[in-house]
Amino acid sequence: MVCLKDPLVKKICEFYEKISRLDSLEPSEDVNTLLTELVLTCMPPYQIDCTKLCKKIQEIRSELIRLCGEAEGLLEKHYSTILGSFDNPIEHLDIFPYFSNYLKLSLLEFNILSQHIKDVPSRVAFVGSGPLPLTSIVLASNHMTSTTFHNYDIDSSANSMASRLMKSDLDLSKRMIFHTTDIMNVTSALKDYDVVFLAALVGMNKDEKVRVLEHLNKHMAPGALLMLRSAHGARAFLYPVVDPCDLQGFEVLSVFHPTDEVINSVVIARKSPFSMNSSIDHGFGPLMLCSKCAEIQVFNPLSQMTMIEELVAEEHHC
């Protein structure tokens, strides 16, 4: 059982105590310093399994993810407001301090996606786009230049801020569409997308994440691809973890764990050609492969990045 005897866990708990005592998580010198130090602490490879954390540390981890998510949202709103004051906001995206990370992550996701599709999709959905939808913007601008992006967020103010960034870009203003709704209320529209991207913080805990995944499985088109973000090792103190076993009704194609400053792991899965309900009715399990890490290989879709690929081929009990 992992507990406070682990030096890394102890250090992360100290960060939690400091962050939880802050009066506000709005961008400031104190907030930025603490969160940067926390991320740098969690970044190096570290053998830790979050499922084996004791109850107390599990609770701290959940609360830390919530706090980091709140701070991330406030940071995006802050910079979206600044960008919205420019005549052409898209030309100034590099003022966002983590813009280079989004460039790397978006290229990584596009390279992974390209291995599993023949043609660049014409319509994709991004669930949890937020006030500064950098992934959609970068993919639409650099990699999927004819694709229409349907961005879903539950927060109307976030969508208002995000859409304002497109106002002076004739191309993106036509291809970036924003929907203010809870994705759990979106049903038949999900069948229109060949690819659905799921942001890391849609579903802040295991139960919420599984409910979203079950909903997507129920309503996505058979054979459509789902790309979602997870976390590995100590980075799981920053973002929720998606285990392949959570993706019932999907065939998990691969899982990639970056080892550099890109924090999120990337999971790609294909919706089963059979609906979840019909497979149960006929006595068949959902079409998916489930494993922790059957075979580990070095994968390098970007010359400047190194990451681990988990080939999901080994059976294990979920």
Residue 275 — pLDDT band, cuts 50, 70, 90? low
CA 139 vs CA 91, 133, 147, 213, 229: distances in Å: 15, 10, 9, 23, 16
Beta bridge partners of 267: 228, 255
- What pLDDT digit, counting tens, does each position of 95-145 carry? 999 999 999 999 999 999 999 998 999 999 999 999 999 999 999 999 999
Q: Which residue has the higher pLDDT, 21 or 48?
A: 21
Q: Is 20 helix (H, G, I), strand (E, B) or coil?
A: helix
Q: Which residue has the higher pLDDT, 49 or 276?
A: 49
Q: Which helix (H) or strand (E) holds 124?
A: strand 123-127
Edge-to-edge strands of the sheet including 250-258?
176-180, 148-153, 123-127, 195-198, 225-230, 265-271, 250-258, 307-311, 295-299
Residue with the two structure tokens 């310093």: 33
The structure's pTM equals 0.86
pLDDT of 313 above 70: no
- What pLDDT digit, counting tens, does each position of 136-175 carry? 999 999 999 999 999 999 999 999 999 999 999 999 999 9
Asked if 302 and 107 touch (Cβ cutoff 8 Å), the reply is yes
Q: Which helix (H) or strand (E) holds 126?
A: strand 123-127
CA 16 vs CA 5, 13, 64, 201: distances in Å: 16, 5, 6, 18
Amino acid at 301: P
